[in-house]
Amino acid sequence: MKSKVGISSANQTLEILEYIVLSGREVSLKEIAEEIGLHVSTVHRYLSSLLEKGYVRKTQNGLYKPGFRILELSSYILQGFDLREIARPFLIELMENTKQTVHLTIRDAYEGVYIDKVEGPGTLPMMSRIGMRMPLYSTSFGKVLLAYSPESFINEYLRKVPLIPRTENTITDPEKLKEELLKVKKQGYAFDNEENERGIKCIGAPIFDYSGNVVAAVSISGYYKDFEGENREKLLKELLSACDRISSVLRSKA
């Protein structure tokens, strides 16, 4: 049986690693120690182990940032993720048919996480990347994932997550967001009307597993003018078709 000291050390090491990764920037030894609440010498000892294993890198100016070992392990996880493998060919076809950037997303607690992204020569370049976390309330895929969640979770989400405006179009009123989510579930898709990023519109739709639960969402994103009028209807038709086919394959593998 592991000692409590050993478990505590492991937890503190993981806290340090998570802080470095989630900071999204280079951080100092002193900053880490203050944030985690440990003595500098203790943090330095844990960092030495992370450096040795490649989970953390040290820059020339003495700051710390995530190491490439994390990316290596992430790739193994994603390669073994059946949903991503099943959806991949349909995502590629969807990108080719719509000429828009395509994302496959899952919900992790109160955020959405990109688990795949497909873009091509004709798509609008985007900063999104696999593993990146995004808000649920301001994105099309996020609203889909929220809309098909249990009501108890939606209420919990609205209590704990501040609806901070990301653009002037972001829905920041909890009651209005609940109305939007009811609409999303009724129509079977969600629209992001430049709610997360100015100039970018998105359409998201759900992926269902064999039990009828929503396990992921697919979205197409691009320049706002491409998502207006008749073109929007064409994009929606392609998206819903792709999602239906992915869901069908998931059901067949049950």
Q: What is the pLDDT of residue 76?
A: 54
> What would the mean pLDDT of 197-224 be, rounded to a whole number?
94
User: Do 96 and 154 fall within a single domain?
Assistant: yes
Chain segment 55-105, per-residue pLDDT in tens = 999 998 999 999 888 876 765 565 445 889 899 999 999 999 999 999 999
113-166 residue pLDDT tens:
999 999 988 888 888 888 899 999 999 999 999 999 999 999 999 999 999 999
Residues 54, 125 share a domain: no
Q: Encode pLDDT of 21-54 as tens digits.
A: 888 889 999 999 999 999 999 999 999 999 999 9
Backbone φ and ψ of 209, nearest 5°: -95, -170
Quote the pLDDT of residue 4. 45
| Distance from the first to the final alpha carbon of the chain | 38
Q: How many domains does the chain have?
A: 2
Do residues 181 and 224 share a domain? yes
User: Does residue 172 lie within any of the structural domains?
Assistant: yes
Distance CA 242, CA 94 (A): 7
d(CA 200, CA 191): 11
In a domain, 20, yes or no: yes
Of 125 and 216, the one with more pLDDT: 216
Closest CA to 116 of 98, 145, 142, 90: 90
- Residue 75 placed within a domain: no
For residue 195, give its domain range: 80-252
Mean pLDDT across 174-198: 97
Same domain, 53 and 86: no
Q: How confident is the model at residue 181 (pLDDT cuts 50, 70, 90)?
A: very high
Which pLDDT belongs to residue 38? 92
In a domain, 115, yes or no: yes
pLDDT tier for residue 189 given thresholds of 50, 70 and 90 = very high
Q: Are residues 65 and 87 in the same domain?
A: no
Residues 57 and 130 in one domain: no
Whichever domain contains 35, its CATH number is 1.10.10.10
What pLDDT is stored for residue 7 in this prediction? 58
CATH number (domain holding residue 240): 3.30.450.40
Q: How many helices (H) and strands (E) does the chain have?
A: 9, 8
Of the three residues 69, 93, 122, the one that is the final residue of a domain is 69
What is the per-residue pLDDT for 74?
67
For residue 223, pLDDT over 50 is answered with yes
Q: Is residue 74 part of a domain?
A: no
The answer to whether the CB of 205 falls within 8 A of the CB of 248 is: no
pTM of the model: 0.71
**Short-list 115, 132, 141, 122, CA closest to 195:** 141
Tell me: do 115 and 235 sit in the same domain.
yes
Please indicate, yes or no, whether residues 38 and 86 belong to a single structural domain of this protein. Answer: no
**pLDDT band with cut points at 50, 70 and 90 for residue 5:** very low
- What is the per-residue pLDDT for 125? 85
Statement to judge: residues 15 and 122 lie in one domain: no
Residues 23 and 113 in one domain: no
**Is the same domain home to 41 and 95?**
no
Mean pLDDT of the 211-219 span: 92
The answer as to whether 125 is a domain residue is yes
Nearest Cα residue to 146 out of 157, 134, 160, 159: 157
